[in-house]
A and B are shown apart, each in its own frame.
Chain A
Amino acid sequence: MDKMDKERHLIHELLDGELSPEERRDLLDRVNSDPLLKREFDDLRSVVDMVETGERLAVPPAFTSQVMRRLPAPRVSFRKRVSSFFFGARVLRWNLATALVTLCLVVIATGALLQMQKKGNVVSYQSSVEKSSRTVIISFQAPQAKAVAVAGDFNQWSIEKGLMEKKSDGVWTLEVPLEPGTYHYMFVVDGEVWVSDPSAELFRDDGFGNKNSVLRVSL
């Protein structure tokens, strides 16, 4: 190992906080008196600083709920449920009236299904929208507030429908199922003060001189 390599090794040890105060002081003295070594040291320190002070990336909303949805169902209880459904004891009391009503319901249900099939597109479109919708967790920090709601074009700007729940840390949250798209909203604090979401990425004029926050939901 030549001298430079040795010094470089020490620099790395210093960056890892593994040098004693004396070793550290000695190394820094040598670094300051040698321009080449100084350059080496400054560059490495910059690299480490740059990596260490880089931004943390925020996890996309609804991450946890998606994990939870994808978890396998608890096996034992599922089996239990299935077996009790199929093999559990059950008492059925039949008479002609119930039999006919059942038959009647079956006929009506079949008719309704056929009717829905005729409408075809509309029904299948709606169900596909439901499938593609995502649950978005909207949150707002307001420890002093008595009530917070989120009102937006996804809930017809309804304060009642958008009432949020307060968590212990003063953060108010609400889970909203949303289809992919762009939405506009504001928070309503204590039923009367309308505020934009300070953490929104974008804002748009609301047509009345205020700024709505913009939320984008992608697939």
Chain B
Amino acid sequence: MVMQAEEYSLIEQCRDGNSEAYAVLVERYQEMVYNVACRMIGDRDAAYDISQESFISAYDGLKRFRSDSKFSTWLYSITVNKCRDYLRGRKPDIPLDEVTEILPSKMPDPEASMYQKQLGHTLQTAIGELPEDYREVIVLKHIEGLDYKEMESILGVSANTLKVRTYRAREMLKKVLLEAGVSNG
């Protein structure tokens, strides 16, 4: 994987102790990290903390980062691990109260319709009902739009296994949504 020269230079500067360069990377990837954490956890406040922790851990670990992979891939894997730690440290199911915290409107978008918001809430609740590894593939594959190859690097599981896992996750999500009263047509 070839990293963009500019990104490579930023990472090098961070390694040399220039934290300003890191601010550029945080700015660039905060939306990605925050969205993954929100969808995985279902609670905005916790997701915020996890995102912060992810960036801090990434900064600490920059020396270990191998420049032959993409920075975003590496960051995804840190975030997913933080989410796993968080979820494992709590009850296996997310209480609905907390699911409801997430996914109101996208804040700076005044145009988000009530209808969309409802769908969004329903979707988040449904994702929250999936087992953790199913949730991961749905988030990475369909919310982040990654391919199986990249997911393989992030999750450390073979692309073929992930494919099957994604199929099952979709089926399960479909089932949950249908049970929740969202049907097609």
| A–B touching in complex (CB under 8 Å) | yes
Q: Which of A44, A58, A71 contacts B108 (CB 8 A)?
A: A58
Inter-chain contact A46/B52, CB cutoff 8 Å: no
Inter-chain contact B106/A58, CB cutoff 8 Å: yes
Separation in Å of the A11 CB from the closest CB of chain B?
A: 9
- Cβ of B163 < 8 Å from any Cβ of A? yes
Inter-chain contact A63/B119, CB cutoff 8 Å: no
Q: How many A-B residue pairs have CB under 8 A?
A: 116
- Cβ of B67 < 8 Å from any Cβ of A? no
Beta-carbon nearest neighbor of A48 in chain B? B142
Main secondary structure of the interface of B (DSSP, over half): helix
Separation in Å of the A149 CB from the closest CB of chain B?
A: 20
- CA gap between A126 and B41 in the complex, in Å: 36
- CA gap between A120 and B136 in the complex, in Å: 52
Inter-chain contact B167/A9, CB cutoff 8 Å: yes
Inter-chain contact B109/A72, CB cutoff 8 Å: no
The answer to whether A67 and B55 touch (CB under 8 A), given A44-B170, A47-B170, A201-B107, is yes
Most interface-central of B106, B108, B110 (chain A CB within 10 A) = B108
- Cβ of A66 < 8 Å from any Cβ of B? yes
Inter-chain contact B119/A66, CB cutoff 8 Å: no
Stretch at the interface among A49-57, A109-117, A150-158, A186-194: A49-57
Inter-chain contact A70/B52, CB cutoff 8 Å: yes
Q: Which residues of A contact B (CB under 8 A)?
A: 8-9, 12, 15-16, 39, 42-44, 46-48, 50-52, 54-60, 63-64, 66-68, 70-72, 74, 76-77, 198-201
Interchain residue pairs with CB less than 8 A apart (21): A8-B167, A8-B171, A9-B167, A16-B166, A44-B171, A44-B174, A46-B184, A50-B182, A51-B123, A51-B173, A52-B142, A55-B112, A58-B107, A60-B107, A64-B27, A67-B52, A68-B19, A68-B26, A71-B19, A71-B22, A74-B17
